[in-house]
Amino acid sequence: MTTLVTPTATSRVVARPPSSRRRGGAASAKKLILALAAYIVAILFLLPYLEMVVVAGRPAKELLSRNFFPTHFDWSNFATIWSTGFGGNLSTSLQVAGGATIVVLVVALPAAYYTARHRFRGRALFLLLVLATQMFQPAAMLVGIQREFLGFNLPSPTLSLILINAGFNLAFAVWILNAFVSSIPVELEEAAVVDGCTRIGAMMRITLPLAMPGIVTALIFTFISAWNEFLVALTLTLSAPDSARPLTVAINSYVGQYSIDWGHLFAGSLVAMVPVVILFAVIEGRVVSGLTAGAIK
């Protein structure tokens, strides 16, 4: 009598081929190298900001010390800087950057939507002319800009800076929003119109949420560009009070002819970074939601 023994499921051992193990080890080593490289690059980018924090907290008598860290930190620069009118400078920069961003979005959104949805005569030439305005640098037109806005006799240089920064960033916003709106199928709007939406309602409920990454890109670009603008702000605020000047001009005033106020210079630079960081933290989620909005199977 012969007994047949069949292997059970528990007795079966599946061995991975050596080539698979080698590929897995190579992939893990590659991920480790990429992670180390990313950390090194991040550290290199963060070192200047660490230096700013250290110098802002360094006592005045230890500015010439060779030690990277002071014996003790003195954070009084962050408190005394407000007595120099820095709060007014911060408010002016917020008004200029925020006002320019609002003007750009209000003007660029309808222009981008119309040029993306309508094929009118001269459309390509119009977009080309819009793009050509990016070729002009503020420094090349500085004298003309100053004379023109002095002739307008505007009530404050803040309004002039809002209009100038909006004009300089309008072309980029129109182009980036035109590209995003063009990539959205027009059939989605037509379906919304069939369901009872008006043309404006379809644009507000369908197109704008899907174009949110482009809107956020234009918003960030315009805000940061207006926030960091220096040359035109310096020229148009020469006769303005110190507290009515933007942050870029106010921070530059800490650099004198014979001395530099390093403590207030770096403390003001760190404070100037806070609104931009807050802006990124607030609108970061809008980018992700805009990318996934309207997804269909």
pLDDT in tens, 188-239: 888 888 878 787 888 888 888 888 888 888 888 899 999 988 888 888 888 7
Residue among 67, 74, 38, 81 at smallest CA distance from 53 = 74
The predicted structure's pLDDT at residue 268: 87
**Cα–Cα distance, 69 to 51 (Å, whole number):** 9
The predicted structure's pLDDT at residue 186: 83
Residue 295 confidence (pLDDT) above 50: no
Amino acid occupying residue 153: N
Q: Which two tokens stand for residue 208?
A: 């704008």
Residue among 275, 155, 188 at smallest CA distance from 227 = 275
**Cα–Cα distance, 237 to 246 (Å, whole number):** 9
**Cα–Cα distance, 280 to 75 (Å, whole number):** 26
**Cα–Cα distance, 197 to 27 (Å, whole number):** 52
Whole-structure pTM value: 0.77
236-279 pLDDT per residue, tens: 888 777 778 899 888 888 887 787 888 888 888 888 888 888 88
**Cα–Cα distance, 222 to 227 (Å, whole number):** 8
**Cα–Cα distance, 23 to 31 (Å, whole number):** 12
Confidence class for position 99, pLDDT limits 50, 70, 90:
very high
Q: How far is CA 91 from CA 77, 164, 223, 243, 282, in A?
A: 19, 18, 14, 9, 19
Q: Give every CB contact of residue 176 below 8 A, 6+ residues apart in sequence.
A: 214, 217, 218, 221
Amino acid occupying residue 113: Y
Residue among 42, 41, 69 at smallest CA distance from 55 = 69
Residue among 111, 104, 296, 83 at smallest CA distance from 206 = 296
Phi, psi torsion values for 255, nearest 5 degrees: -95, 105
Q: How far is CA 22 from CA 16, 18, 80, 202, 260, in A?
A: 10, 6, 61, 54, 59
Average pLDDT, the chain: 80
Residue among 244, 263, 241, 265 at smallest CA distance from 253 = 265
Confidence class for position 293, pLDDT limits 50, 70, 90:
very low
The predicted structure's pLDDT at residue 97: 92
As a whole number, mean pLDDT of residues 168-192 equals 85
Q: Within its chain, how far is the Cα of 131 from the centroid?
A: 20
Of residues 149 and 50, the one with the higher pLDDT is 50
Question: Are the beta carbons of 91 and 243 closer than 8 angstroms?
Answer: no
Residue ranges and CATH numbers for the domains of the chain are: 28-75 (no CATH), 87-292 (1.10.3720.10)
Q: Within its chain, how far is the Cα of 234 from the centroid?
A: 22
